[in-house]
Chain A
Amino acid sequence: MNVEKGVSPVRKTLHNILAVIFLGLLAFLGLAISAPAAQREFTFSMAYEIPGLDPQKANSIPSAVVGTHILEGLVRVHDGKILPGMAERWEISEDGLVYTFHLRDALWNDGKPVTAHDFEYSFRRLLDPATAAEYAFAAYGIENGKAFNKGEITDPSLVGVKALDAKTFEIRLVEPMDYLLGYLQLMCFLPTRQDVVEHEKDAFATGAEHMVYNGPFVIKEWKHEQIMILEKNPRYWNSDAIKLDRAVIHQVYEQNTALNLFESGELDMVDIPSNLYEKYATEGKAKVSLTGADDWIKVNVRPDPKRPWLANKDFRKALAWAIDREEYLKISTKGLYIPNLRYVLPIVAGVEKHYAEEYPLEYYTAKADPEKARAHLKAAMDHLGIDDPAKISVTYLIQDQEECRLMAEALQDQIQRTLGISFNVQIVTRKQRFLQEGQADYELVYSGWGPDFDDPLTYIEIWGSDISHNNSGWGNKEFDDIVAASRKETDRGKRLALLFEAEKILLDEAPMIPLQLRRRAWMTQPGVSGIVRPFIGSDLDFVYATVEK
Chain B
Amino acid sequence: MTRYILKRFLISLLTVWLLVSVVFVLVRLLPGDPFSSEKLTPAIRANLEAYYGFDQPLHMQYFRYIGNLLRGDLGFSLKYQNMPVSKIIADSFPYSADLGIRTILFASLVGISLGVIAGLNRGKPLEYLCIVIAVIGISLPDFITGSLLQYFFGLKLGWFPVALWRGFRYTVLPTLALSFYTIALLSRIMRTSMLDVTGQDYIRTARAKGLSTFRIVWRHQLRNAILPVVTVLGPITAAILTGTFVIESIYAIPGMGKFYVLGVQNLDYTVILGLTAFYGIFLIAANFVVDILYGIIDPRIALTGRRN
Contacts and interface: CB of A to CB of B under 8 A. Distances in A.
22 contacts: A49-B80, A52-B83, A54-B82, A130-B51, A134-B40, A149-B43, A203-B82, A206-B83, A251-B254, A253-B252, A261-B164, A261-B252, A264-B161, A266-B162, A429-B32, A430-B32, A431-B33, A431-B265, A434-B36, A435-B36, A438-B36, A469-B41
Contacts of B165: 226
A57 B265 CA distance: 21
B285 interface: no
A264 B254 CA distance: 20
A433 B251 CA distance: 31
Contacts of B43: 149-150
Interface in B18-69: 31-34, 36-44, 47-48, 50-51
A52 B37 contact: no
Given A45-B252, A261-B162, 16 more contacts: A54-B81, A136-B47, A203-B82, A224-B83, A224-B91, A225-B91, A225-B258, A252-B163, A253-B252, A254-B252, A256-B250, A261-B163, A263-B162, A264-B162, A431-B34, A435-B33
Contacts of A435: 31-33, 36
Nearest to B158: A264
B37 A204 contact: no
A469 B44 CA distance: 12
Interface in B106-126: none
B50 A51 contact: no
Chain B interface secondary structure, helix, strand, loop or mixed? loop
Interface of A: 45, 49, 51-52, 54, 57, 59, 129-137, 149-150, 202-206, 223-226, 250-254, 256-257, 260-261, 263-264, 266, 428-435, 438, 448-450, 452, 468-469
Contact of A202 (B82, B163, B267): B82
A134 B39 contact: yes
A430 B38 CA distance: 10
Interface in B288-304: none
B91 A450 contact: no
B160 to A, nearest CB: 10
A229 to B, nearest CB: 13
Interface of B: 31-34, 36-44, 47-48, 50-51, 79-83, 88, 91-92, 147, 150-151, 154-155, 158, 161-165, 249-252, 254, 258, 265-267
Given A253-B258, A430-B265, A431-B33, A260 B163 contact: yes
A225 B88 CA distance: 9
B109 to A, nearest CB: 28
Which one of A130, A266, A435 has the highest number of Cβ atoms from chain B below 10 Å of its Cβ? A435
Which one of A204, A224, A226 has the highest number of Cβ atoms from chain B below 10 Å of its Cβ? A226
Contacts of B31: 428-429, 431-432, 435
A134 B44 contact: yes
A135 B258 CA distance: 27
Given A261-B163, A435-B31, A435-B32, A137 B82 contact: no
A260 B254 contact: no
The 7 A-B residue pairs whose C-beta atoms are closest, nearest first, are A52-B81, A431-B32, A434-B36, A432-B32, A132-B51, A432-B31, A226-B254
Contacts of B155: 260, 263-264
B80 A52 contact: yes
B162 A260 contact: yes
Contacts, number: 141
Contact of A250 (B39, B50, B252): B252
A435 B80 CA distance: 20
Contacts of A250: 164, 252
A438 B40 contact: yes
Given A251-B254, A254-B249, A51 B79 contact: yes
Nearest to B31: A432
Nearest to A431: B32
A437 to B, nearest CB: 8
Contacts of B164: 250, 261, 266
Nearest to B41: A468
B275 to A, nearest CB: 14
Which one of B82, B165, B265 has the highest number of Cβ atoms from chain A below 10 Å of its Cβ? B82
Contacts of A431: 31-34, 36, 265-267
A449 B38 contact: yes
A137 B44 contact: yes
Given A257-B251, A257-B252, A132 B48 contact: yes
A53 to B, nearest CB: 8
A105 to B, nearest CB: 32
A469 B32 contact: no
Nearest to A201: B82
Nearest to B165: A226
Nearest to A254: B249
B254 A225 contact: yes
B87 to A, nearest CB: 8
A257 B37 contact: no
Contacts of A226: 165, 254
B205 to A, nearest CB: 56
Which one of A257, A428, A448, A452 has the highest number of Cβ atoms from chain B below 10 Å of its Cβ? A257
A129 B266 CA distance: 23
B48 A254 contact: no
A256 B147 contact: yes
A430 B41 CA distance: 17
Contacts of A266: 161-164
A13 B172 CA distance: 52
Which one of A251, A253, A264, A432 has the highest number of Cβ atoms from chain B below 10 Å of its Cβ? A253
Nearest to A400: B265
A523 B37 CA distance: 30
A129 B47 contact: yes
Contact of A51 (B81, B249, B254, B258): B81
Given A204-B82, A261-B162, A264-B158, A434 B32 contact: yes
B164 to A, nearest CB: 7
B39 A468 contact: no
A405 to B, nearest CB: 16
Contact of A468 (B42, B47, B147, B267): B42
A260 B154 contact: yes
B41 to A, nearest CB: 5
Contacts of A256: 147, 250
A206 B187 CA distance: 46
Nearest to B77: A51
A429 B265 contact: yes
A469 B162 contact: no
Contacts of A132: 44, 47-48, 50-51
A252 B80 contact: no
A257 B38 contact: no
Given A429-B32, A431-B33, A137 B252 contact: no
Nearest to A224: B91
Contact of B92 (A134, A202, A225, A263): A225
Contact of B82 (A129, A206, A430): A206
Contacts of A135: 39
Nearest to B37: A434
Contacts of B163: 252, 257, 260-261, 266
A253 B82 contact: no
Contacts of A469: 39, 41
